Amino acid sequence: MARRIKIPATKYPVERFTLDNGLRVVLTPDRSAPVVGVAVVYDVGIRSEPEGRTGFAHLFEHLMFQGSENLEKLAHFRHVQGAGGTFNGSTHLDFTDYFEALPSGALERALFLEADRMRGPRLTEENLLNQIDVVKEEIRVNVLNRPYGGFPWLRLPPVMFDTFANAHDGYGSFGDLDSATVEDAQNFFDRYYACGNATLAVAGDFDVAKATEMIKRHFGDVPARPAPERPDFDEPDLDGERRDSYTDKLAPLPGVASAWRVPDPINAFQDYLPFVVLAEVLTDGDASRLVERLVQRDRTVTSIGGYIGFMGDEFQVRNPTALLLQAHMPPGGDAEKVLRTVDEELDRLAADGLRPGELERTQARIATHLLRDTDAVLGRALPMAVLELQRGRPEMLNELPKLVGEVTEAQIVAAAATLRPERRATVEVLPGATAS
């Protein structure tokens, strides 16, 4: 019988309550260091964008930093940095987050700032046009003028999925961005940036009673608006292999990426979790199966990685999502040969099981990453806010390392057996640049 490793559990305390306006609040105090992390997460992401408004979720993330009804443009930056803090925001498939890390004495400042823009950002023609230009420049820098830009997170979804929500370009088209109006932005805010569609999490050095009073004082009078009905983004699994390729004029070497649908991360978590571990069994570290075979022995790829979710957020994504493998190949690399080898290794794993110590080593690596990531206050505030938003269980952050350690070899073998070619979507990058 395979030996299970003992993974230490975290015991971060969790206090939860909901304000009368629908805002859900998570508090996780830790007095060991004089810092706090504040995260506000809205249940709106790339998949929520309506047709004709591609890139709007990301555009709106930028607009939320352009001032509010009570604060001028750049005031948020100045107040956080003036207190010795840092801040940012990010857009994901299923949510958008905003966050600050500050000295604990500046907690109320962060709460005021987040509550103020929750009431309403400064949506003006000037701000809208300015931020459209900023987003378009990001697309130029990160996708259009960068080798492998958008590979595979923008390139694979339209191969794998059929619905607009799952398949469209989350960065957005220039045409859609340029046609956006202030009225569109206001409607987007009114619909998705409602208190009932958001969670607030605070982690770090604070007194629970005092923090609760501050939260009620600053957020309690934000006008109540109910959360919009969230669509079901699910669609049927593939009934045959799908392939596509494109030429990247800046890429010096060929690349290939494949994806397979996995079980529902929320409603079928026990079936989903083995795929999280399987991705690491296949690609994490020099001793992993595909690195050992493709990189070290066959030398058919120069690098290979595996992960769950098109944005690599395996515990912060809803259905549908996928297990991805992506590889870069040497000059003249053969994508067909790489895929055949992947199939061979998956068949071998499904037939022969895992090697001695393979699962325990992988589980220990995953658990180490999970435990390390929660050391920082934002490493607790952000995922707890998302876990509250998507599952109503922020305390699950404490449980994840232990749950990873409970995945069995039989579950890994069964998961590997489902990764068949007929369920695979693949995109190949053809180099357009001359490799040096």
Domain containing 177 — which CATH number?
3.30.830.10
Rounded mean pLDDT of the chain?
Answer: 95
Residue 353, pLDDT score: 96
Residue 226, pLDDT score: 87
- In Å, how far are 49, 52, 83, 105, 115 from 56, measured between CA atoms? 6, 9, 31, 35, 22
Residues 126 and 75 in one domain: yes
- Whether 4 is covered by a domain: the verdict is no
pLDDT digits (tens, 9 = 90+) for 349-377: 999 999 999 999 999 999 999 999 999 99
Percent of the chain with pLDDT over 90: 94
Residues 166 and 252 in one domain: no
Residue 1, pLDDT score: 45
Instruction: Flag whether pLDDT at 416 surpasses 70.
Output: yes
User: What type of residue sits at position 62?
Assistant: H
Report how far apart the first and last C-alpha atoms of the chain are (Å, whole number). 51
Identify the domain containing residue 102 by its residue range. Answer: 15-219
Q: Please, are residues 298 and 341 in contact by the beta-carbon 8 Å criterion? A: yes
- Whether 227 is covered by a domain: the verdict is no
Dist. CA 377–CA 37, nearest whole Å:
5
pLDDT digits (tens, 9 = 90+) for 90-111: 999 999 999 999 999 999 999 9
Instruction: Flag whether pLDDT at 385 surpasses 50.
Output: yes
- Whether 43 is covered by a domain: the verdict is yes
CB atoms within 10 A of CB 370: 20
pLDDT band at residue 8 under the 50/70/90 scheme: confident
Residues 73 and 188 in one domain: yes
Q: Please, are residues 258 and 425 in contact by the beta-carbon 8 Å criterion? A: yes
Instruction: Flag whether pLDDT at 4 surpasses 70.
Output: no
**Reported pTM:** 0.96
> Which own/partner pairs from 49-54 qualify as long-range (CB within 8 Å, at least 24 positions apart)?
49/165, 49/168, 49/170, 51/164, 51/168, 52/176, 52/179, 53/172, 53/176, 53/180, 53/184, 53/188, 54/168, 54/169, 54/170, 54/171, 54/172, 54/173, 54/176, 54/177
Residues 200 and 335 in one domain: no
Residues 192 and 264 in one domain: no
pLDDT digits (tens, 9 = 90+) for 251-301: 999 999 999 999 999 999 999 999 999 999 999 999 999 999 999 999 999
Residues 96 and 152 in one domain: yes
Which residues, at least 6 apart from 420, have a Cβ–Cβ distance to it below 8 Å?
Answer: 260
pLDDT digits (tens, 9 = 90+) for 135-176: 999 999 999 999 999 999 999 999 999 999 999 999 999 999
Q: How many structural domains are present in the chain?
A: 2
Instruction: Flag whether pLDDT at 183 surpasses 90.
Output: yes
Q: What is the mean pLDDT of residues 51-61?
A: 95
CB atoms within 10 A of CB 152: 23
Residues 418 and 326 in one domain: yes
Dist. CA 171–CA 55, nearest whole Å:
5
pLDDT band at residue 6 under the 50/70/90 scheme: confident
Residues 260 and 316 in one domain: yes
Residues 214 and 292 in one domain: no
Residues 192 and 282 in one domain: no
Residues 259 and 171 in one domain: no
Residue for token pair 């040497």: 330
Residue 273 tokens, joined:
């979790």
pLDDT band at residue 69 under the 50/70/90 scheme: confident
pLDDT band at residue 3 under the 50/70/90 scheme: low
- Whether 140 is covered by a domain: the verdict is yes
Dist. CA 188–CA 194, nearest whole Å:
10
